Chains A and B, each alone.
Chain A
Amino acid sequence: MKTHAGEFNESARRYTADLPHRDLIQKALAGYYAKRDESKNRFQNWPGARDLAAEIKWNAINHLDRCLDEFVSKLEARGTKIFWAPGAQEARDYIIGVARKHKVRSIIKSKSMTAEEIHLNDALEKEGFEVVESDLGEYIVQLRREPPYHLVFPAMHLTRRQISDLFHDKLGSAPTNNPEDLTMIARRVMRRKYCEAEMGISGANFAIAETGMISITENEGNARLTTSLPKIHVAIVGIEKVLPKLSDLALFLPMLATAGAGQSITCYNTLYGGPRQPGEPDGPEEFHVVLLDNRRTELLADAEQRDALHCIRCGACLNVCPVFKNVGGHSYGTTYQGPIGSVITPHLRGLQDWKHLSQASSLCGACTETCPLKINLHHHLLHNRRNAVRALPGRLGKFLQSGFVFMMRRPKLYQLAARAGRIAQPLQRLFQGTILDPLRAWTKTRLFPPLAEKSFREMWRERKTP
C-alpha cells in the first residue's frame, strides 16, 4: 500500500510539471492579492487588528472550557440540541441518527470544512441519503467526485470551460463560457433541492459564547436557504470556533473577508441562535449543534502549538505559500491544505503518517507573515519535524546527522572534505544529472555551481602571511 508521503510525492511531481496548472493558480491569486491589499488598506491599522484578533482568540482558546459552557447553555435555553462529538465516527453517527429519526431522504448542505474533515457526505450517501452541496464551488467538486482543492475556493483549479463541460455531462446543460449562465444552471438545480430537502447541514465560521449563536458568512445566500428552508438544521462546529463576545465579530467578520477573499465584508452574514421560537414565522423546527473535538483537545494540550487553534480557516496562508501554488491543493491529501494543514494534520491524524508535509517546506515564512491571527505557522513546521525525530529517530537520519556533527566539530576534517569536493567536482561534472551522479537530486533539474578554486580560509591565510 502506498504511504501518504508516497502519494504526496507522486502528486507533487505531477502538479509541479503541469505548467498550465501553475499559470492558472498564479493568475487566480494575482487577482486575490490586489483585492486583499485594497481591503487591508480599509483597516485603520491592519497590524493592530492582527494583534487584537490574536489576543481575543488567545483568550478564547485558553479559556475554551468556560467559553464552550457559556455557548452551549445559551443555545440550550432556546431549545437547541447539543451533541458533543469526541471523534468523527460519533459525529457522523449522531447526524445519521437525526436524519433517520425524521425519515429524511434529501439533505441540502452548505460549505463546511469540518464536515469534510469527518467525511460526512460519504457516510450519509452510504446510508442512502441524497446530499447536495449548495455552495457553487463545492457543488462543482461534488459533481466531479473530488475533495475541495482549497479551504475557501474549492474549485479554483478549474477553468470555466471545464465547469461548462462538467455541467454539460452531468446536467445536460448547453455549453457556455459565461459565469452568470453557469451559475444559473447550478441555481436551477439547487432551488429545487432546497424545497425538497428535509434537512439542512451547515458549518459555522464562529461560535459566539456570549449570546449562544453561530455565525455563518457567505457570498451566495445558499447557507441562509440551507439553514432556514428545511425543517431540521444541523450545524457542525469545531470546538475551536468560539469567540467570547458578539462584538468580536466587528473585527473578525471583516478580517475573515479580507484575508479570505479580499473583500471588505462578505455579502451575507447571519447569526443562528436556535430553532424557530414560538410566534416566529419561519426557521427550522429543530436545530442541532454538533461540537466536534476530533483530537483538537490534543492540540490544546500542546502549549507550544496551541495557537494553531486560533485559525479561522481564511486560507490566506495557502494563497501565499509557494509550495501550495506549485503542488496544488489536492496533493496534500488532507482536509486542510497548505501551511495550516501541514501544521495541524499531524496532530489530527498522526505525526508519523503526516510529518512529510512539515518537511515539504522551504520554511520561507510567507504563511506566518500573512496569517491574520499571527499563528507561528512555519516555526510549527520546525516543531513538527523535531517532534517526529524525537518520537521516532530514523536510523538513516540519525546516522547522517551524527556524521555531520562529527565533521562540523573537527575543522581539519571539514577543510579536508571541502578540498576533496573541489578535486572531485570535475569528475562529478562528467556524470552531471545522470544516475551515476551522487548529487543527482540536485543536478537532475539544476546545475551545480563550480566550487571556488580557493577556500576562504586559504585566501585568509595568504593574506595574513604575505
Chain B
Amino acid sequence: MSIVQVLERLGHKVDYPEAQTCCGQPPFNSGHWDEARAVAERQMTIFRDAETVVIASGSCGAMVKNFYPELFHNHPREAEARALAAKTHEFSDFLVNKLAVLDVGARFPGRATFHDGCHGLRELGLKKPPRQLLRHVQGLELVEMSEAETCCGFGGAFAVKFPMISTAMGEVKCASIADTGADYVISNDSSCLMQIRGVLDRQGKSVKTLHLAEVLAQT
C-alpha cells in the first residue's frame, strides 16, 4: 500500500488489477519454462492496456523486463512480451529515471543501511536510484555496509533446496548489516527482506527490515 500512497502523493492515478497473481519466476528459475510461460501469458493479458506498470520488487521486475523477452523468444506473443517489458519499471527506477523525482517528501528518523537485491542491482542496473531517494528522506541517516552488493542468499527455491548454503549467505549478509550499527535495513525486494529478517530474528538481532516504499511513504 505504501507504493500506492507515494505514487498518489505525486499525483498519479494507480490501478491494481485484482486478477493478477505471480510473474512466473518460480517455474522459470527451476527450469520449467513452459509452465512459466503459462503464468506469464496471463499477466501479459491483464496489463495489456496499462500505460506503465510499476513493480515493488527488483526480482519480479527483472523477470518481466529481462526474462519475458527471452521466455517468449520466437513465440507468437514475443512482441507483446517486449512491449510489457518496455513499459514495466521497478519502483525506484520509475521514480528516479522515469519521473525524475528524488524527493518524495518523506520523513523517517533513524539510521539505516541499504541492501541491493541482486536482480535490481545486476539485472536492472539500479545501484543509484534507491540511494538517491533515501538520501532525500528527512531525518534518515544512510550508512553503507561492506557487503551491500553481496547476495542475501534467498534465491527462491534455492533457499529451501540448499538451506545450508542459503543460511550461510544470510549470516554473512547479516553480520555486515550488524557491523554498520544501523537500526533498519532497507531494500527494494521483499524476498530478500524475508530472508534477512528470517536470519536476524533467529539471531535475536533488533535490526528491523523495511521495504523502500514503506520508508518513502512516511511523512
- Contacts A365-B123, A405-B39, A449-B194 given: A326-B1 contact, CB under 8 Å? no
Asked if A388 contacts B31 (CB within 8 A), the reply is yes
A304 nearest CB across to chain B (Å) = 10
- Contacts A446-B195, A446-B198, A460-B18 given: A326-B168 contact, CB under 8 Å? yes
Tell me which residues across on chain A come within 8 A of B195, comparing CB atoms.
446
User: In this assembly, does A159 line the interface, its C-beta being within 8 Å of a C-beta of chain B?
Assistant: no
Which A240-294 residues sit within 8 Å CB-CB of chain B? Answer: none
B202 nearest CB across to chain A (Å) = 5
Cross-chain contact of A362 among B4, B158, B201, B202 (Cβ < 8 A): B158
**Count of B residues near A, CB < 8 Å?**
53
Task: Among B22, B28, B199, find the residue whose CB has the most chain A CB atoms closer than 10 A.
Answer: B22
- Contacts A405-B35, A445-B167, A456-B1 given: A414-B21 contact, CB under 8 Å? yes
Asked if B118 contacts A363 (CB within 8 A), the reply is yes
Q: How far, in whole Å, are A360 and B35 apart by their CA atoms in the complex?
A: 21
Tell me which residues across on chain A come within 8 A of B26, comparing CB atoms.
404
User: In this assembly, does B24 line the interface, its C-beta being within 8 Å of a C-beta of chain A?
Assistant: yes
- Contacts A445-B163, A449-B198 given: A409-B35 contact, CB under 8 Å? no
Which secondary structure characterizes the binding site on chain A?
A: helix
- Contacts A362-B158, A408-B22, A456-B1 given: A449-B197 contact, CB under 8 Å? yes
Q: How far, in whole Å, are A444 and B202 apart by their CA atoms in the complex?
A: 10
- Contacts A448-B198, A449-B194 given: A386-B33 contact, CB under 8 Å? yes
A394 nearest CB across to chain B (Å) = 10
User: In this assembly, does A13 line the interface, its C-beta being within 8 Å of a C-beta of chain B?
Assistant: yes
A258 nearest CB across to chain B (Å) = 19
**CB-nearest residue of chain A relative to B121?**
A365
Cross-chain contact of B16 among A442, A446, A460 (Cβ < 8 A): A460
User: In this assembly, does B30 line the interface, its C-beta being within 8 Å of a C-beta of chain A?
Assistant: yes
- Contacts A397-B32, A401-B35, A405-B35 given: A360-B118 contact, CB under 8 Å? no
- Can you give 15 contacting A-B residue pairs, CB < 8 Å? A16-B167, A22-B172, A322-B153, A326-B168, A327-B165, A362-B155, A363-B118, A363-B158, A387-B31, A388-B31, A389-B33, A397-B32, A441-B163, A444-B163, A445-B199
A positions within 8 Å CB-CB of B: 9, 12-13, 16-17, 22, 26, 322-323, 325-327, 359-366, 368-369, 382, 385-390, 397-398, 401-402, 404-405, 407-409, 411, 414, 441-442, 444-449, 456-457, 459-460, 463
B positions within 8 Å CB-CB of A: 1, 4, 16, 18-22, 24, 26-33, 35, 38-39, 42, 118-119, 122-123, 149-151, 153-156, 158-170, 172, 194-195, 197-199, 201-202
